[in-house]
Structure 1
Amino acid sequence: MAGIIVLEIPGATQAQYEEVTDKMTGGRGGVTARSDSPVPGLISHCAGPTPDGWHVTDVWESTEAFQRFAEKLGPLMQAAGMPQAEPKIYEAFNVVTS
């Protein structure tokens, strides 16, 4: 079952997000395609600023796929100086991709 992952990161900046995504894609810049993920299973990704930080919402093929991704993401976020944030994980009832 697909999982919806919501990450609110108070105090995080666009520069930190760009640093993390650049490292995640091996220096190719931001995430622009599902294949940019270092772990298979990403369905969709969106990110943007909030009044007090940064917001990310992903849809993954499974919560297990997201957990594998999170193992790679955590150290990159820490290296970029991003504040720690606990993701909210929801089971998807419906996912539309096109």
Structure 2
Amino acid sequence: MAISITFRPTAFSLDQYNETIKQLDGAGMGKPAGRLLHVCSGAGEKVTVFDVWESQEAFEEFSQYLMPILDMMEVDPGIPAIAPVNNILQ
């Protein structure tokens, strides 16, 4: 079952987001298997990330790469909001 995951860290800038993407690319996880959609929105220190994953397992595999990068950057991702995806219109 597809799931959506929304991260709303208390303080996460666009520069930190871009560095996270750079680090993920370097680890070969810039376009991870199972991620169906990725959206970054917001400004200042209030950047939000919204993903759709084909399964919880696919996200958990990716998070093994993501979380150490966020830890290294001293970013607290907070508790993500996770919900089942009912429909995607494009």
How much identity, in percent, do the aligned residues show?
Answer: 27
- Do the aligned residues in 2 keep the contact of 1:46 with 1:58 (CA within 8 Å)? yes
Q: How far apart, CA to CA, are the structure 2 residues paired with 1:8 and 1:81?
A: 15
TM-score using structure 1 length? 0.79
5+ residue gaps, structure 2: none
- Do the aligned residues in 2 keep the contact of 1:16 with 1:81 (CA within 8 Å)? no
- Structure 1 residue ranges (4+ consecutive) displaced by more than 4 angstroms after TM superposition: none
Q: How far apart, CA to CA, are the structure 1 residues paired with 2:59 and 2:43?
A: 23
How far 1:2 moved relative to its partner?
0.5
Higher strand share: 1
TM-score using structure 2 length? 0.86
Q: How far apart, CA to CA, are the structure 2 residues paired with 1:19 and 1:51?
A: 15
Residue aligning to 1:32: none
1:40-79 alignment, distance < 5 Å? 40-49=33-42, 53-79=46-72
Partner SS for 2:68? helix
Query: What one-letter code is carried by the residue in structure 2 that aligns with 1:94?
Result: N
5+ residue gaps, structure 1: 28-34
Q: How far apart, CA to CA, are the structure 1 residues paired with 2:30 and 2:72?
A: 20
